[in-house]
Amino acid sequence: MSTELFFVQLINGLQYGLLLFLIASGLTLVFGVMGILNLAHGSMYMVGAYLVWYFVAVTGSFTASAILSAVIALGLGILIERVLIQRLYNRNHLDQVLLTIGMIFVFNSLQSILWGNDPYGVAVPEALSGAVPFTDNSSYPVYRIFAALICVAIAAALYFLVSRTRLGMLIRAGESNREMVEALGVNIKSLYTIVFAIGVMLAAISGIIAAPMRSIVPGMGESVLITCFVVVVVGGMGSIKGAFVGALLVGVISTFAAVLMPTMSNMIIYIFMILVLLVKPQGLFAK
Amino acid sequence: MIFEKRTERIFLAIFFTIALCIPLFLEANSFFVGKVTTILILAVFVMSLDFLVGRVGLVTLGHALFYGLGGYLFVILTPEYEAVNFWVYAFYILGLNALIALVIGAVVLRTSGIYFIMITLAISQMAYYYFFDSLEFGGNDGLFIFMKPETSIFGLSFLNLDNPTHFYYLALLAVLVTLLAIKVILRSRFGRIVEASRLNPERTEALGYNIFAFRLISYVIGSTLAAYAGLLFALQYGYVNPQFMTWEMSGTALVMAILGGMGTIYGAILGTITYEGLLYLFEHMTQDWMLLMGSAIILMVLLLRKGLAGYLEKLLEK
């Protein structure tokens, strides 16, 4: 592998890893704070991608569509938490698994009813459509760099939100002792609603950012969900820092595996995850 | 009495009476006999999962791995154009599968809780992609079974596997054997310790039991029953492919077990029949059956706290 190809693949891997982090961050945040394993998290990623595709087709503006889709996703998150998830806080994990599997069915079906089963694509916004020359005969698309920067910005914002704001303080407190937070007069119910809605919005934003880079197809949510599980487990369930490291590792490893050993590339990340769990049964950044 | 609850006895009496008679009424309609056979095979698979999740406390999302292995091991071990003996090869396949389950179990049981769910998922995904990307095992298309095995015992042959009705009774026998095996295991000394280690691992360990070993043996038992179901399914349809091993397959089985009432074992049969019945109904009603199925699942989670078996028990137990 030439040095040039190596660096192109490394950047590809990091960029993919950053996107994975954005999806996985919502999953791990909801699990860490609320103890809920949301199997429908991948569906929210799909919803984001389909919404932005639809609004771009209607309005023509990517920025406006992206903002609109993210706001709708936030509303959807609040609705789902209020109507469904809230009823299951006192039940066991298996009931939550069952409920969220039911949600996958519903969202996949709504997607097929509303938008059909054809694959779609979103054009890269004009301002970002160029490519940065990399070396003499290779270049890197501007949109991918932009997407990576957005992911880094959101990661930083999330870090700031959790570690520096009042809401973040409550989130961390809710993580370690729910009863105590309630006893201090905090409305834990609305805190949970906010956290769940943020989780849904993070997944949808990932779908929005990914839309111009990937094709929008039925079932896109499930494939990304399983990869996110690997990310979250490698990093340690509930740890946002762990999800960040895990996502970059999984992104780089799977990108290089696809080039170096194509026949095994699909298996590699699972082998990696099993190895990590054998050494650290709670993931790299276990709490 | 091996079946302690009244509800359980009533349900099983009704179930086996109807199940025994179904081919008599549907003899002419081999499609329906085949459909019900598939449901019975799935019930075996779901019961084995219910045993692991509900009774041993091992929540696995990779159970379909062994369902697929049951089918793949048959195709790999048997000669292509020669009818082998079903019982002999079932013994080989389940034995080999048990060895594989022992190795996998020794690895996955190092983790617990949510990490156990995830590592079982990862191992089954690995196997899925292994068969999916493999050339020698037919990749995504899988492999075909050209010759169905013969089923003679000591030269006496009662079952012809090419006959849908005969195959139906083989599947019903599998349901009965699986149900009795799990029930007997649970009532034995071994089963009591396994349940104790689910309810309170620390105390069980303090009593001097090696709970890792008990869990490992249970994992092997559950996986082997699942492989038997997979073997029957592969033989019924004459093929095996990576779709047997998808995480959706594991997830659906989990849905059936939870719907039926986790840990009740007979509830697994109830859950499988209900799920497959609803699916069949919705698929014939509308193209958008997933919407109805998803809504039905959500409603049942919200309304039935202990699954269908829990609901029946509330009505029938005093």
Instruction: For residue range A189-240, list pLDDT tens digits in order.
Output: 888 899 999 999 999 999 999 988 888 988 888 888 889 989 998 998 888 8
A184, pLDDT greater than 90: no
Write the secondary structure of A181-220 as one string of H (helix), E (strand) and C (coil): HHHCCCCHHHHHHHHHHHHHHHHHHHHHHHCCCCCECCCH
Would you say residue A110 lies in a domain?
yes
CB A232 within 8 A of CB A21: no
List, for residues A6-50, the tens digit of each pLDDT value. Answer: 888 898 899 999 999 999 999 988 888 888 888 999 999 999 999
Q: Please count the structural domains in chain A.
A: 1
Please report, to the nearest 10 degrees, the dihedral formed by the alpha carbons of residues B254, B259, B262, B266 taken in order.
Answer: -110
Residue A221 to residue A113: CA distance in whole angstroms: 16
CB B73 within 8 A of CB B266: no
Set of chain A residues whose Cβ sits within 8 Å of the Cβ of B301? 88, 95, 98-99, 102
Please tell me the distance in Å from A158's CA to the nearest CA on chain B: 24
Please tell me the distance in Å from B111's CA to the nearest CA on chain A: 5
Would you say residue A122 lies in a domain?
yes
Would you say residue A275 lies in a domain?
yes
Closest CA to A147 of A164, A115, A122: A122
pLDDT for residue A287: 62
Per-residue pLDDT of chain B (318 residues; tens, 9 = 90+): 678 888 888 899 999 999 888 888 776 777 888 899 999 999 999 999 999 999 999 999 999 999 999 999 999 998 877 788 888 899 999 999 999 999 999 989 988 888 888 889 889 999 999 999 888 888 888 888 887 888 777 777 777 888 888 899 999 999 999 999 999 999 999 999 999 999 998 999 999 999 999 999 999 999 999 999 999 999 999 899 999 999 889 999 999 999 998 889 999 999 999 999 999 999 888 888 889 999 999 998 888 888 888 888 888 876
pLDDT for residue B318: 67
Q: Does A20 reach chain B within 8 Å, measured CB to CB?
A: no
What is the complex's ipTM, to 2 decimals? 0.85
3-state helix, strand, coil in chain B (%, to 5): 75, 5, 20
Nearest to A98 among B114, B255, B291 (CB): B255
pLDDT for residue A142: 86
Set of chain B residues whose Cβ sits within 8 Å of the Cβ of A87? 302
Residue A213 to residue A118: CA distance in whole angstroms: 17
Residue B191: which H helix or E strand, with range?
helix B189-199
Would you say residue A72 lies in a domain?
yes
User: Testing the interface with B: which of A229, A239, A271 to mutate, by most B Cβ within 10 A?
Assistant: A229
Domain that holds residue A83: 3-279
List, for residues A118-171, the tens digit of each pLDDT value. Answer: 888 888 887 788 787 777 667 788 888 888 999 999 889 988 888 888 888 888
Indicate yes or no: CB of A281 within 8 angstroms of CB of B132: no
Would you say residue A284 lies in a domain?
no
Q: Which long-range contacts (CB under 8 A, 24 or more apart) does B188-191 make?
A: B190/B214, B190/B217, B191/B55
CATH code of the domain in which A56 resides: 1.10.3470
Indicate yes or no: CB of A109 within 8 angstroms of CB of B262: no
Set of chain B residues whose Cβ sits within 8 Å of the Cβ of A233? 115, 118-119, 122
- Taking the CA atoms of B126, B128, B133 and B137 in sequence, report the sign of the dihedral they define: positive
Q: Does A274 reach chain B within 8 Å, measured CB to CB?
A: yes
Residue B315 to residue B6: CA distance in whole angstroms: 11
Indicate yes or no: CB of B294 within 8 angstroms of CB of A278: no
pLDDT for residue B194: 93
Residue B128 to residue A195: CA distance in whole angstroms: 34
Q: Does A71 reach chain B within 8 Å, measured CB to CB?
A: no
* 3-state class (DSSP) for residue B159: coil
List, for residues A59-118, the tens digit of each pLDDT value. Answer: 888 889 999 999 999 999 999 999 998 888 878 778 888 899 899 999 999 999 999 888
Would you say residue A287 lies in a domain?
no
A42: how many CB neighbours lie within 10 A of its CB? 26
DSSP string, B32-53: HHHHHHHHHHHHHHHHHHHIII
Would you say residue A254 lies in a domain?
yes
